[in-house]
Amino acid sequence: MSLPAVVPAPASIEAGSGAPFRLTSATTVSGEPDAATALASILTARAGLTPVAAEASADIELRIDPSTGSGASGAAESYRIAVDEASVSVTGADATGLFYGVQTLGQLLTRDAGEWIIPAVAIEDAPRFAYRGVMLDVARHFHGVDTVKGYIDRASSLKFNALHLHLTDDQGWRIQLDSRPELTVKASGTAIGGDPGGFYTKDDYREIVEYAASRHMIVVPEVDMPGHTHAVGLAYPELAEDPVIQDHMRDVIDQYGGELPVPGVPYEALAVGFSSLKIHDEATYEFVADVFGELAAMTPGPYLHFGGDESLATQDDDFAYFVTRVSALVADLGKTPVAWHEAGSAKDIADTTIGQYWGYVTPLEGFAEKAQTFVDNGASLILSPADAIYLDMKYPSGPELGLTWANGPTSVQDAYSWEPAEVVPGVGDEGILGVEAPLWTETIRTAADIDTMAFPRAAAAAEAGWSPRTGTSDLRTRESFRARVGALGPLWTSMGIGFHPSEEIPWVTE
């Protein structure tokens, strides 16, 4: 008997020998109310059925039990599913595990001769890595609250538990701060290509954080510095150096269009690496303290991301001084600093700082050494290899969205065929906090664009973060993944996910 399709692949799954469980309009559900609501939403969208709430002895039972037994169960975020002809049981070690169990149950739902069934199965599941993130760049093109909430829904269904928001860049500042009001007054109105900008009010940000929490996700806000800060100079010109124009910028502008950056003028092109804050001016650090102090108070999650990438206009010694000082400032706020891997060139960076590696699956010269610094300090890495899980890279064939700088177009196979413990030499599971799939938005303007670029490749990133290591499970193969993702096509369609119908995947239709 073939196994039902589950993505990301679970730690353990066994097909039962008995008949499936059949759903009807009279199917009852009992247990944890939030999980029951989540299940009802999936069943209504997928099958047009709404389970009947019951106090006890229901057909489908949803419960939390911290001592769920041996094997994968019992760990944080873990769950167990047992299905036979008479009943369905989903048990989570905690509320998050139960939520994930419900997401898996939704994937098991299938049609059989006009009826909706859940095949007899036993699943025990738990995540490989603690951190499993997606990143959305809202600076290059702004994306409103409803779009962000939609992305949270989609990501959490694949067991991602972190939303990294890239809130600031050369093209715009997207978060309201009482301590620095000019940032949204003067630096939020534009985007790439002359598109309209925008920003999140403090109430907007609170709504996003609370919505993410309801889907068992944290929000990781990023304010990128000392580079990627042209927008800061629009609001507070005394803090910003004049742009440094290099040949690579001219090449990018020749290829993609736009103008060279000018002090005090909004920047609407794609090139990077020309901006910097004033490193040796104490006013800069007063600004940094205001920004991260207020952001820390607004963010219940443990992480604050201060960027640190592509600071090509900042001298190496100045860069090291800056990231060392800013990482300490963030740590003093009681938060865990996160920075892109270039910040690992600063040997005195705060030792709690998490590094985010965005190099290639096979590191370029010097990239792995910088990433290694964070592990040597006793912290860890988030892996975001650009030529595998940068979701904004073009597909080999398909829409004209996306870029190609990360080793050319990225296929679904590219997104799947890498092993986290083999990227940075010498850094295995113990040095890896998790995996994150970034979606930069130079060419991404709408919620539909996000769906197209993220799905199905986000599912590959989800499997890298959640599922057993490659080579340790029969499910952790490219062929298995293709079949399992293809089976999700009808579910994704019913949930309103406009995925790219990649020809690499044998999509199931109904």
CATH of range 12-125; options 3.40.50.300, 3.10.580.10, 3.30.379.10, 3.10.129.10: 3.30.379.10
Residue 458, pLDDT score: 98
For the cut 80, the answer to whether the pLDDT of residue 44 exceeds it is yes
For the cut 90, the answer to whether the pLDDT of residue 81 exceeds it is yes
For the cut 50, the answer to whether the pLDDT of residue 402 exceeds it is yes
Range list for CATH 3.20.20.80 in the chain: 131-474
Quick one: CA dihedral 161, 356, 209, 455, positive or negative? Answer: negative
Mean pLDDT value of segment 258-271:
96
Lowest-pLDDT range, 135-139, 210-214, 256-260, 328-332? 256-260
pLDDT per residue as tens digits for the range 65-76: 998 644 455 689
Residue 69, pLDDT score: 47
The percent of residues above 90 in pLDDT, for the chain, comes to 94
Which has more confidence, 375 or 113?
A: 375
In one-letter notation, the amino acid at residue 413 is Q
d(CA 319, CA 284): 13
Lowest-pLDDT range, 110-114, 217-221, 457-461, 505-509? 110-114
For the cut 90, the answer to whether the pLDDT of residue 153 exceeds it is yes
Mean pLDDT value of segment 114-126:
96
d(CA 377, CA 287): 27
Catalytic (active-site) positions: 310
Strand order in the sheet with 79-83: 12-15, 121-125, 79-83, 88-92, 60-64, 28-31, 52-53
d(CA 40, CA 50): 6
Residue 74, pLDDT score: 66
d(CA 304, CA 481): 33
d(CA 192, CA 258): 9
Phi then psi dihedrals of residue 140, to 5 deg? -65, -45
Residue 70, pLDDT score: 44
- Can you tell me which residue has the tokens 């050494």? 369
d(CA 171, CA 132): 27
Question: What contacts 318, CB < 8 A, 6 or more positions away?
Answer: 226, 279, 280
The percent of residues above 70 in pLDDT, for the chain, comes to 98
Confidence of residue 55 (pLDDT cuts 50, 70, 90): confident
For the cut 50, the answer to whether the pLDDT of residue 125 exceeds it is yes
CATH of range 131-474; options 3.90.220.20, 1.10.10.10, 3.10.20.340, 3.20.20.80: 3.20.20.80
Residue 67, pLDDT score: 80
As beta bridge partners, residue 53 has 29
pLDDT per residue as tens digits for the range 222-232: 999 999 999 99
Range list for CATH 3.30.379.10 in the chain: 12-125
